[in-house]
Amino acid sequence: MASYKDGNYHAENQGMHDLVKVDAKIKNNKIVELQIDASKETKNIGQLAAPKMQAKILAAQSADVDVISGASVTSNAIKKDIQEIINEASGKPAQSKSIRKAPDWLGNEPEIDSEEIKKVIHADIVIVGGGNAGTMCAFAASEKHKKVAVIEAQAEDNVYYYGMHDIAAVNSDFQLENGAPKIKKSEFIAEYQRRTHNRTDPMLVKQFVDNSGAMIDWLMDHTAPEVVNKACLLNVTSKHDYLPQGREINKFTSWTGAVQINYNAAAPKLIADAEKQGAKWYWETKGVKLIHESYSVEEQDEKTSENGEVSFFSKKVPHQKVTGVIAKDKNGQFIEFLANDAVVLTGGDYGGNPQMYEALQDEKRNVYEAHGLDTEELHCPSFGRDGSGIKMALWAGATMDPGPRCAVDPQVILNSDKYATNVLRWGSSFSGQPAPEIGASRFNPWGSPFIYFDSNGKRFTDETVLGVFGMRERVERSKPGRYFAIWDSQWPELMRRSIPEHFSVPTGGDEEVDLYQEFQSWLDRGAKGAKTNPGETVSCWGAQDLDTLLTYMHLNEEQKENIKAEIAKYNHFCEQGEDTDFGRDPKLLLPVNKGLFFGMYFVEDKPMTGIVTLNGVNTDSEQRVVDSNWNPIDNLYACGNNAGERFAIEYSTPMQGLTLGMAMTLGWVLGYQLAQK
């Protein structure tokens, strides 16, 4: 029996809105009096929880009691107070503590009175967010006859699924039958982990590698034929003979074969099929908070004495359990969704939430600060979501993926107070073809392996390392302004040797640009340069010789002389087979010395903030959300950009389309797994 010292004790811990204070009197090894001050907590919720917790604690004579449903934050603060009082009364040394206030971007979990709930819906699986990951999870689970509720904030007649429709996959029948190379899975996993310095969970990467092919084939089998007939493979199904030699550049490997299919066109039929099998979509409804409760579990721990002896002991560790979601519909009514088996968070990234972006995207914030820019404007334009699914998980005890966190870069929506938008796209101003769906000209090709020069006309890096990512990282750490690219008539051979990194030459599909025709048009127009769309500026030229090209490009004499000297030095590196300045891969040391000559300029205005962010809450290899002890939160799962453990450092991965490929594959796998619970 525990032995307590008689006396009066006090403790206080952070509740929902302020400190929750407890005063207790202990006599003859019992808590005989107990006063709880929760007066600053939410009226009719946290305040009402205090007397209920008081009765439970006096009856149990312990802090190990269940929390009051709907007032878990207040309840847990009271439990902490009681445990500290018991520890003090039993003579255990007091542990130093700091009251950790939730960051401003997180805030406090909303407290919703039960009287505000207007409807209760029961389902086996509740999915919060009907995007790429959420829909695939719902399709798989409903196929196995699970009752699925999908909560989606967008309207059914105006829903938009993120992405440029590029979906990475490994060894699907569709890919292999259309000319994609068969990939050795272990090599793909090793390359993925090498690029992230093993910060990503290799078990999740393996699930993608093992199941993405089957996911793509399922998608092709279940999608409307008119959509499937327009699908293609990036860098494989092409009218150009690009990239047949390119797989490894400077020890970094990429594979061709990402599938391009219009998921916005595919989804309506797939949703209709799922609803026939028992799933239901709740459109214009947004998740607000999880329904969760805490309990304790005995776990084994160990300690080592001063003389090196190891002993083992049991301790009670708090755990969390999620049973449902409270959401708000388009009329402002609260709906309670209760889940028999699981709640899955697939609510998208936090790129559209400037507060979260500034706080969590450390490198982006630091680069902005280095340029003297206002970090409060940081966000992902157009595609970024509000991070609400991540916040819901954190309120329930989850923790944030520690990073280094990253975003999908470069971005496709750009603007500037100084420059036309067509010169803001790195290596992307080749084509003047309109692209109304993104409000800008077509962006081909990114990550081209040409020779690049800074505003002084000096070569400044290996242009080919990690494709456009390596170039962007280097330029964002340099002086803003104009940059230039020069190449000659040997460009097709250079392209053939290139690696299919993200945003490399995007060949395949009806929108593919004929670069032979494009470059010829520059030559034909001479000093006038490439055609432009309204509001754009001329940035591309072609000429019979280098001197004429540099004149067309409006360079000053110093820039011209520097560029010619740098090209001569680079051509010498090509002759000797070694780039002694920057270590460019010998495979890509092709001299610039054969007319015709082509050039373009583009601008670094300010660092890019990306299309979406890629890091959510920590999960285990089964996609269960974990708490700060790395224990799974019962019945809570996260997928897509609500989940962490998938991307780190940079969105530089072994195949294009990994953000969609990973989200859709892991969502699909999770749906089948949950159907077996």
- CA-wise closest residue to 82 among 122, 39, 34, 42: 34
Number of domains the chain contains? 2
Which percentage of the chain shows pLDDT scores above 90? 66
What's the mean pLDDT in 340-363? 97
Task: Quote the CA–CA distance of 41 and 18 in Å, as a whole number.
Answer: 7
Which CATH number does the domain housing residue 65 bear? Answer: 3.90.1010.20
What's the mean pLDDT in 195-224? 98
- Does residue 559 lie within any of the structural domains? yes
- Does residue 582 lie within any of the structural domains? yes
pTM of the model: 0.86
Residue 515 is part of which domain span? 421-604
pLDDT at residue 243, rounded to an integer: 60
pLDDT at residue 467, rounded to an integer: 83
- Summarised one tens digit per residue, pLDDT across range 467-525 is 888 888 999 999 999 999 999 999 888 888 887 887 776 555 555 667 788 889 999 99
Indicate the average pLDDT of the chain.
90
In this model, does residue 436 exceed pLDDT 70?
A: no
Task: Quote the CA–CA distance of 142 and 391 in Å, as a whole number.
Answer: 27
- Does residue 374 lie within any of the structural domains? no
Give me 280's structure tokens: 């239901």
Task: Quote the CA–CA distance of 204 and 513 in Å, as a whole number.
Answer: 36
- CA-wise closest residue to 447 among 474, 433, 465, 421: 465
pLDDT at residue 466, rounded to an integer: 87
- Does residue 579 lie within any of the structural domains? yes
Which CATH number does the domain housing residue 536 bear? Answer: 3.90.700.10
Lowest mean pLDDT segment, chosen from 42-46, 176-180, 536-540, 558-562: 42-46
In this model, does residue 224 exceed pLDDT 50?
A: yes
- CA-wise closest residue to 447 among 477, 421, 427, 423: 427
Task: Quote the CA–CA distance of 36 and 54 in Å, as a whole number.
Answer: 7
- Show which of 572, 604, 636 is a domain's final residue: 604
- Summarised one tens digit per residue, pLDDT across range 255-273 is 988 999 999 999 999 999 9
- Does residue 661 lie within any of the structural domains? no
H-state helical runs in 28-71: 46-60
In this model, does residue 427 exceed pLDDT 70?
A: no
pLDDT band at 326 (very low <50, low <70, confident <90, very high): very high
- Does residue 56 lie within any of the structural domains? yes
- Does residue 372 lie within any of the structural domains? no
- Show which of 66, 89, 112 is a domain's final residue: 89
- Summarised one tens digit per residue, pLDDT across range 149-168 is 999 999 999 998 876 688 99
pLDDT band at 429 (very low <50, low <70, confident <90, very high): very low
pLDDT at residue 92, rounded to an integer: 77
In this model, does residue 72 exceed pLDDT 50?
A: yes
- Does residue 556 lie within any of the structural domains? yes
- Summarised one tens digit per residue, pLDDT across range 407-417 is 998 777 778 88
- Show which of 69, 89, 109 is a domain's final residue: 89
Q: What is the DSSP letter of 385?
A: -
Instruction: Region of 443 please: left (phi>0), alpha (psi -120 to 50) or beta.
Output: beta
Task: Quote the CA–CA distance of 39 and 673 in Å, as a whole number.
Answer: 45
Cis (ω within 30 of 0) for the bond into 381? no
